[in-house]
Amino acid sequence: GAVVSQHPSRVICKSGTSVKIECRSLDFQATTMFWYRQFPKQSLMLMATSNEGSKATYEQGVEKDKFLINHASLTLSTLTVTSAHPEDSSFYICSASKGYPRSDYEQYFGPGTRLTVT
């Protein structure tokens, strides 16, 4: 159990367009989902935390108008990169937690989405 999927796994888009990435918990209800960004050979940087039914909490320095996060249901969160530019090219990973933010709930990671903006 505790499987998280992401779609698409890879996406190429043109500069100025928007792209949506989906994160789904397949066999459990995820009250909290996290979105990370990872540049090549670097660590994961948390972008935002989303709780089902409420607005996402963004980390300092992350543009909330550029990276729109929606957590509409207990199994789905979406990240939309609006007006994408080449510098937005990165590996985006989501994770899902079964419980509300507490120390004893593990995060389950999706396989990631590689975004390339041309």
Partner 1 sequence: AQKITQTQPGMFVQEKEAVTLDCTYDTSDPSYGLFWYKQPSSGEMIFLIYQGSYDQQNATEGRYSLNFQKARKSANLVISASQLGDSAMYFCAMRDRNTGKLIFGQGTTLQVKP
Nearer to partner 1, 28 or 105 (CB): 105
**Shortest distance, CB of residue 24 to partner 1, whole angstroms?**
15
**Shortest distance, CB of residue 92 to partner 1, whole angstroms?**
10
**Shortest distance, CB of residue 44 to partner 1, whole angstroms?**
5
Size of the site for partner 1 (CB under 8 A): 26
| Residue in this structure with the two tokens 């990973």, named with its chain if needed | 93
| Residue in this structure with the two tokens 């899902």, named with its chain if needed | 96
- With contact defined as beta carbons under 8 Å apart, do 118 and 13 qualify? yes
Please select the residue that binds partner 1; options are 41, 60, 61, 86, rule is CB under 8 A.
Answer: 41
Q: Which of residues 69-108 bind partner 1 (CB under 8 A)?
A: 91, 93, 95, 97, 100-108
CA pair distance 101, 37, nearest whole angstrom? 20
**Shortest distance, CB of residue 114 to partner 1, whole angstroms?**
7
- With contact defined as beta carbons under 8 Å apart, do 6 and 108 qualify? no
User: What is the per-residue DSSP string for 35-103?
Assistant: EEEE-TTS-EEEEEEEETTS--EEPTT--TTTEEEEEEETTEEEEEE-S--GGG-EEEEEEEESSSS-T
Site of interaction with partner 1 (CB under 8 A): 32, 34, 38, 41-44, 46, 49, 91, 93, 95, 97, 100-109, 111-112, 114
